[in-house]
Amino acid sequence: MNYIALKMLMADRSKFLGIVMGLTFASLIMTQQPAIFLGLMTRTFSFISDLGLPDIWVMDKKVQFVDDIKPMQDTELYRVRGISGVQWAMPLYKGLLKARLADGAFQTCNLIGLDDATLIGGPPVMLQGKIEDLRRSDGVIVDWEGAKDKLAKPAPIAGGKAIPLQVGDSLELNDHRAIVVGIAKVTRTFQSQPVIYTTYSRAKSYAPSERKLLSFVLVKAKAGENVPDLARRISQQTGLVAYSRDQFKTLTYQYFMKYTGIPINFGISVLLGFLVGAAIAGQTFYNFTLENTRQFGVLKAMGTGNWTLLRMILLQAVLVGSLGYGLGVGLTAVFGYSMRHTILAFKFPWQLLVFSVAGVSMICVFAALLSIRKVIKLEPAIVFKG
């Protein structure tokens, strides 16, 4: 009877497409919106992800997320270095600074100061120059996105294209001269501000004068050392707080989840997508069943049981569900791929596929249940009515 179910389903092309499109829409919204949401959330801790070397991040107790800097005294670095199990501990400066551009405009930038000796915490990928070039006088490394966009030099002709910042160009950082010695590729951050890397000592000279300037202490555990145990020891012995990389990521995105309206906004989009998809697909599928009531009645009169009819409807629902889901996820993937070089945040993990399968399945079950109820209650005597 399966082929009969499928032929019945596809006989009216427009209705068939209507059901599939409804599910495609629902599936698209249920994957695309969360993918953007996850992309945004991932950006909140992209700076932590880019710094792959340290196992532990040490900071002031009051820090709530990676951009919430509560500076510490430089002496804290030595206290951390003195704790057993620490292979090395390096300072990191992270702060916002205004850069004066060639046209006189100001641009807020993320200034990262790396340990002068080891340059630990540097950008993950260098596009131009070398990280060691930071040791040159007034040297800074600028991220590619910032260099070609917010920090770019004005076009020589009015209305022309801005010229990306290049190695050898200069910037003015808080009345200090800075020379671009390298261009790096870094993962976009949530605030999407240009990132400028320099040495820790030079960063302190760029930064407004403060008594405390150490943002983080980056720690590498000795081989075989239990990282959570070491983090706990550092916290206990220094009065600071030490997080493993994953703990710090969690702390950061949880802050954004809790204190921003982002999850609610995206949640509403996903819910609306689910409801609209359910309404379109459910209504069209139910209408399809209503219009085929007589046919189901004929099959019933000729001896087809309710279980067989139920199986036929479920098969129809599974088919339209699979098509709609596949198309929706496919469109989301195409969307994500085509946006990969843009500012749009997008992350599409396998868990999202599971989530959307569950959503589309719920819609299909809902649509099928409405129809199944109608068909099971159907009186086959209907076929004798002219």
List of residues contacting other proteins (CB under 8 A): 1, 3-4, 7-8, 10-11, 294-295, 298-299, 301-305, 379-381, 383-386
Tell me the pairing of strands 176-185 and 241-244.
Answer: unpaired
Q: Could you give the CA distance from residue 315 to residue 184 in angstroms, rounded to a whole number?
A: 53
Sign of CA dihedral 290, 295, 301, 307: negative
Tokens encoding 241: 């707080």
- Closest distance of CB 366 from other proteins, Å: 24
Question: Nearer to other proteins by C-beta: 270 or 320?
Answer: 320
- Closest distance of CB 320 from other proteins, Å: 15
- Closest distance of CB 307 from other proteins, Å: 10
Rg (CA), the chain: 30
Question: Nearer to other proteins by C-beta: 156 or 386?
Answer: 386
Question: Nearer to other proteins by C-beta: 2 or 338?
Answer: 2
- Closest distance of CB 381 from other proteins, Å: 5
Question: Nearer to other proteins by C-beta: 354 or 381?
Answer: 381
Residue closest to 368 by CA, chosen among 284, 277, 253: 284
Tokens encoding 135: 């040791």
Q: Could you give the CA distance from residue 197 to residue 139 in angstroms, rounded to a whole number?
A: 9
Tokens encoding 123: 């950008």
DSSP 60: -
Question: Nearer to other proteins by C-beta: 341 or 385?
Answer: 385
Residue closest to 46 by CA, chosen among 282, 256, 269, 225: 256
Assign 335 to helix, strand or coil.
helix
Question: Nearer to other proteins by C-beta: 283 or 295?
Answer: 295
CB 29 within 8 A of CB 270: yes
- Closest distance of CB 386 from other proteins, Å: 5
